[in-house]
Amino acid sequence: MKLRKLSRAIAVTGVAVTVALAASTSAHAQKRVKWKMQSTWSSSLAHLGESGVRFSKDIDRLSGGNFQIKFFEPGALVPALECFDAASKGSVEACWTTPGYHTGKLGAGVAFFTAVPFGPQLGEYLAWKWFGGGNDVRDEAYARHGLMAFDSLCIGPETSGWFREEIKSVDELRGFKMRFFGVGAQVMQKLGVSTQLLAAADIYPALEKGVIDATEFSMPAMDINLGFHQIAKFNYYPGWHQQISCSEILINQAKFDALPDEYKAMIEIAAGHQVAYTYAETEARNPGAMNKMLSEYGVTNKRWSDEDLARFEAAWREVAVEVGEKDELWKKAAESYFAWREVYKTWGDAQSLDSTYLE
């Protein structure tokens, strides 16, 4: 009798374990998620593309391979600058991109969330975006298209243009055809420049064929691989239009909402890691790349005069008002941004330092 009871107990326990294992296996299988992430930038492009690959690998590591966000090269799924629509429709789950590439859909104001001319350093800019209401304005605009985003990388100052010949005054820019990005493009237009927004891979051929006379893209560590110095030997500083640039992982809202909470957290944390990592990486790599262009490729670095910078800034201030009268998103972003800068100013001015006080 005891043996029969023991056998029955073992059998019942075995069934229970089998059911539990089956349920566990089923739950485990349900957690396996695969996403497609279209990148605006090539995986080989320093900082911008490389960070997207790192992000995908971080998600894979954090999830033990159960959550995969596959990085797709520009154009592999959709053209580089058309991922906004693809994510909105859900044909891709996510895009590794930047807000300033969505101006064709949302107007010029969306570029505020990438960079602002004569803008702040990283701390103040992220303080506005994360705690000062900046990203709230962005999120409201994206939500109307079924989208959401996390800041996914930030990079340091850019250069402000590659030119075939020395530019001795801002006045000489009038009539130029130039690739220019974001809010800064509005400033260049104010100064008589015809601007185009081109993806990274399209800039060199446009410059080579004379479709554009000059270009800006980013910083030495990226520009050196894109080869602009082979055509245009004069590189201008400082990057008045992009002292800090932050980009994003743009996500279909419904796809995100369907994720388990732990996967949502992985995206947020992995994106945040790239914000810090990529910014530090740009500061580490750019001095060497800049020196290499000087010593090996015959590039001449030029700095805009104080008078020229004043002209750029004056044009920026005019643009900030004029575009806001026509572009509702610009108006909301600008009001939020400038209000935050007033709040921050007392602290920022008190803590400011010149580069040196020694003679």
Q: Are residues 86 and 96 in the same domain?
A: yes
- Classify residue 16 by burial, with Cβ atoms within 10 Å: 0-12, 13-18, 19+: exposed
At 24 the pLDDT is 36
Domain-embedded: residue 115: yes
Q: Are residues 106 and 201 in the same domain?
A: no
pTM: 0.90
Q: Are residues 40 and 97 in the same domain?
A: yes
Token representation of residue 97? 């991109």
- Sheet with strand 245-252: strands edge to edge: 67-72, 33-39, 94-97, 245-252, 147-155
At 359 the pLDDT is 83
Q: How many domains does one find in the chain?
A: 2
- 3-class SS shares of the chain: helix, strand, coil, % to 5: 55, 15, 30
At 161 the pLDDT is 97
Domain-embedded: residue 255: yes
Domain-embedded: residue 49: yes
Domain-embedded: residue 326: yes
Domain-embedded: residue 140: yes
Domain-embedded: residue 23: no
| Other residues' Cβ atoms within 10 Å of the Cβ of residue 51 | 27
At 31 the pLDDT is 85
Q: Are residues 253 and 176 in the same domain?
A: no
| Other residues' Cβ atoms within 10 Å of the Cβ of residue 233 | 17
- Domain CATH number, residue 48: 3.40.190.170
| Other residues' Cβ atoms within 10 Å of the Cβ of residue 69 | 26
Token representation of residue 99? 């807000």
Distance CA 270, CA 150 (A): 10
Q: 116, 128 in Cβ contact below 8 A?
A: no
Q: Are residues 180 and 168 in the same domain?
A: yes
- Print the domain residue range for 193: 161-243+292-330
Q: Are residues 106 and 166 in the same domain?
A: no
Domain-embedded: residue 6: no
Q: 287, 221 in Cβ contact below 8 A?
A: no
Q: What's the pLDDT tens digit per position in 255-275? A: 999 999 999 999 999 999 999
At 303 the pLDDT is 97
Q: Are residues 128 and 58 in the same domain?
A: yes
Q: Are residues 39 and 183 in the same domain?
A: no
pLDDT under 70 in the chain at which residues? Answer: 1-30
Q: What's the pLDDT tens digit per position in 123-137? A: 999 999 999 999 999
Q: Are residues 212 and 115 in the same domain?
A: no
Domain-embedded: residue 346: no
- Using the 8-state DSSP alphabet, how is residue 108 labeled? G
- Classify strands 300-303 and 67-72 as parallel, antiparallel or unpaired: unpaired
Q: Are residues 250 and 322 in the same domain?
A: no
At 191 the pLDDT is 97
- Domain CATH number, residue 180: 3.40.190.10
Token representation of residue 71? 């990085």
Q: Are residues 272 and 140 in the same domain?
A: yes
Q: Which of 283, 313, 338 is the last residue of a domain?
A: 283
Q: Are residues 106 and 174 in the same domain?
A: no
